[in-house]
Chains A and B, each alone.
Chain A
Amino acid sequence: MSITEPDQQSRRDRMAVLARAEGRQLRELWSGLGIDPAFEMVRGPETGLATVRGRISGDGAPFNFGDVTVTRASVRLQDGAIGHAYRLGRDQGAARLCAVIDALSRDAATAATIASQVVEPLRETLAARDRQRQAETAATKVDFFTLVRGED
């Protein structure tokens, strides 16, 4: 295979966080790193559509149910490292930045810096939002109690 990063799971995990990250926080954390590598665009950044599939009754045969906007980018650093990025929406600058971060993460030392200073803070922001929403939803749970029980 063309991609030789040892741990594809951690790469996927990082890409999932970068894809969901809000553009402004992503840019802030990135500029905090103080890295500005030279790179060339291999493809994009370009915005297009992905057609979303669902499953009939939730777990049955697939069907198409609408499109989402997606922006993708692929870059090559001067040392030849390739990076790819996909994100929902149309933020081309963010997609390009995510591709650069992906390419830089081929280097283990840089990957560790990026993980601790960019990816983990983003992940924590996203997790905090999820926790808050779950807690707000949980507060609307119905606690049924029995008023009268008929016993003969």
Chain B
Amino acid sequence: MEVIASMLRVATPLLFAALGGMVSERAGVVNIALEGMMLIGAFAGAAVAYTTQSPWLGAGAAMLAGVFIAAFYGLIVIQLRANQIIGGTAINMLAAGLTPFLSKIFFDVTGNTPSLPMEARFQYAPMIAAWVLVIGAWFWLKYTPSGTWVRFAGEKPEALESAGVRVNRVRWISVLISGCLAGLGGASLSIFLASSFSRNMTAGRGFMALAALIFGRWMPIPTAIACLLFGFADAAQIRLQGVVLWGAEPVPVQFIQILPYLATILVLAGFVGQSRAPKSLGLPFKKG
């Protein structure tokens, strides 16, 4: 039971990030920048929550920061049609460098923010919000015009353009939403699961969210289930630390901590072959 509760909690950042990645990738823009967007969001969330003592303002700031960095990403890959993998990697490196730099400026410590008191942190809200978003995303993609446009933008952008909807506008908005959600995912790390920002605290969760997205065949509900799976691996990892399996010594903690990453690799290696990506994923769109 405790593991289940823990799983739901640690899956929350993954859910936000995976949903963000889904919106962007369904619209045809690869988003490996999720990691960086999360990291920036985690920092902005913790910093503002600490300054204002309000987790809500912190979450808002994280979303704004995510949108801001996503706008930069959009500029590179949509407007200037740069390679999306390289652009995303650049964003990730930027985030990894920028966050310690900013923490040094604002709080005079490199890589950390001061720890948050209980009332400046979330108790349940992000977890609930994440699941509401999953259901909302499912309905939105399936039944609303704008959701349909996003799907067509990633599958057959020419069709969308010739139906009179501007593909790059759809992609822009999708990438911004993606940044917003990834930022929120970051904030739920720093002001929900933990009580401060620490250096590189996302630790690959952006990529894990991406793996969940692929495993979930770019669909909201299966993606959410994949997030739970990784969340479970993470929760189990925390529980198993210090467990004595044989002999007198506990299993080295480093081996236990591998668990979620191992799960990611196994899932990607085992199932991704059967997953079908949006056809125009990663291809910049040019009119005419």
Task: Tell whether A and B belong to one assembly.
Answer: no
Residues in B lying within 8 Å of A, measured CB to CB: none
Residues in A lying within 8 Å of B, measured CB to CB: none
